[in-house]
Chain A
Amino acid sequence: MKSRNGWIALVLFALVFSPLAARMQPAAMAQEEASADQDLMTEAELASMLVNVLGMATMVPPNAQPADVYAILLQNGISPKDGWNPTNLVTIGNLARIMVQCLGDTDKIENPESDKSWVDYLKSIGVEFGTIEDAIAQIDTKDDVVALKAVEVSTDPLRKAALIRPVDEQQLGADLQFFNRTLSREDVLKLFPQPEPVPPPAPPKPRPVTPNAPRR
């Protein structure tokens, strides 16, 4: 117990006083402040919103980390031109690309390397937007979402998979049900029948006492 408390104290100390935590990056800070001030959006914010808007929120862990968000978006073919970079600001070209990917029309783009092709395609099908929020409001829930994580392997008590999953769940791509077949005490008793308890010896019967015959 003493060693455990020591470990916990050590980790908490490391968490609070981590030299990494103190590492300040003025450029990143300036960019994030600019983003907040000018109502711009970073790719991290866009990715987080997309997971909610596309109906993927039930498929990522409750405390979804950036990697969870990027992984499920990539698995469903949704990504800016150069991949997800949390500090990049969202550009019109990337936004158009993502909207087309969400529509499932990627194959219809003539020149995928050119941002203009993606923007032109949206115009050709009558999709127009003035702001990022406008664009997001036009994105529908995605029907054919795929979660390639066949089984949840996390060991984190805050995100590990439900021990229990209904039989035949096969909704998300080619997922497998986590194998769980409980063997309860009752089941074990049936597998290993217990010997009948030996009944305690019956107490000796009291010898019948003949009542005194009434005297005549």
Chain B
Amino acid sequence: MKQFKIMGLIAITALFSHAGAMAAEAGSGGNWLSVGNRLRFEYDDNVYEKSSGKEDSFKLIEELELGVTLNFEPTFLTLRYRPSFSWWENREPDDTDLHHDFDVVLNHRASPRLSMGLKNTFRYAESPEEIDRGTVVRENGDYIYNVTDGNLDYQILPRTYMLVGGRYTVLRYDESTVAQTEDYDIWAAGLTLRQNITDLSRVMADYRRESISYDGDDRGSDSDYIGLGLEHVLGASFVGVLRGGYQMKDFNDATIEDAEEPYFDVTLTYIYSPRTRFSAGGGFSMFESDIYPFANQDRTIFFASVAHELTAKISLYLAGSYQLSEYDTDQRIANDLDLPSDFSGDEDIMQGSARVAYQVNARNSLEINYQYIDLQSDLREDFDRNRISIGWRLDI
């Protein structure tokens, strides 16, 4: 089976690389297709994410990216397919992973006042084995994940816009025991009114409705969000977005009380100079829970990143993030498990990454990457993990 996967990936790579080269040679007619290939050699110091008795491994990561951009103004179609294959030198019992990402975006401007968009995000992933407190908790976490978005943006008045949108998310695990409690469907719909108060500032008023349902034990809920937002652009140097409001969540499980909490998110982009760009953001809200039998988590998340061009050919990227997930005993669904009464608490996740890219020529670049993650949890085993890689990227 593994050989078939590898051969299939090589065949796809060869086919699209050839098509890309032909398209590139075809001149301007070939602008619609882009092909990128990224090959990395990585050292991972904690393959199984354990706190003690860590296992390290070298691995090869091959990512192919195929992009199609079609301009039929006023209609634009973007397709992106990215298979990625990893081979681990020391990971038992399965030493390979193969993931597939496929994105489709269709944007259409029906009139100067009306535009529409459709976006589909598909992921098929082989998740590696996971170990917790010395126990293999999952042999195989393969899943299919798909998100479909549709939206319509209409200019009601010269400075007033209305956006109507909908989204359907589906997650399906391969393994039945995992699927039993983790498969979910999420429906969301909403309305935004956006008012340009100046040429560079906009205010927004939002209403959203979200419904989450699980296949098995019902950790689902229905939420209403009402809020306001502010966007501001300052010349060529600053873009900021601030949103906040109130979320009201009804849980499907009758034993959990309804919850009402504020939410907010903020993102900032600052262009210090043409060579140095900063970005930062944060958010707080009630969120889907990753952990059974909790129906909810309060999630706080922040990030900051910087991109700096050291020279015309060498770029440096740094990023860091912090996530706090809070799980409350009162938000456990009714279940037949004999769990400790204190099975609740927080998870702190810190991540950092650095990347230096050297552009050899228009098509080739070399890179060095480093990634760090640290998990501190009241619910499962803590761990930290370092990964460092060198890579080569080819764009056709």
Contacts and interface: CB of A to CB of B under 8 A. Distances in A.
B84 A83 contact: no
A191 to B, nearest CB: 6
Interface string B198-223: 01101111111010000011000001
A176 B353 contact: yes
A187 B99 contact: no
B34 A141 contact: yes
A210 interface: no
Contacts of B390: none
B386 interface: no
B319 A71 contact: no
Interface string A175-199: 1110111111111111110110000
A157 B190 contact: yes
A66 B371 CA distance: 32
B321 interface: yes
Given A157-B167, A166-B84, A70 B233 contact: yes
A82 B239 contact: no
Contacts of A36: 112
A66 to B, nearest CB: 7
SS class of chain B's interface: helix, strand, loop or mixed?
strand
Contacts of A110: none
A115 interface: no
A63 B107 contact: no
A52 B302 contact: no
Interface residues of B, number: 164
B87 interface: no
A103 B63 CA distance: 24
B61 interface: yes
Given A57-B76, A149-B303, A182-B291, A83 B281 contact: no
A175 B86 CA distance: 19
A86 B196 contact: yes
B97 A167 contact: yes
A80 B236 CA distance: 8
A136 B292 contact: no
B190 A83 contact: no
Contacts of B159: 23-25, 28
A8 B226 contact: yes
Contact of A71 (B73, B239, B379, B395): B239
A210 to B, nearest CB: 47
B182 A182 contact: yes
B339 A188 contact: yes
A53 B305 CA distance: 26
Given A150-B319, A186-B180, A171 B231 contact: no
B197 A20 contact: yes
Contact of B269 (A74, A133, A190): A74
A143 interface: yes
Interface string A20-46: 111111001100100010000000000
9 contacts: A14-B205, A28-B196, A57-B76, A58-B119, A80-B236, A144-B359, A156-B208, A164-B145, A173-B307
Given A63-B117, A63-B151, A148-B317, 4 more contacts: A67-B231, A183-B379, A185-B181, A191-B133
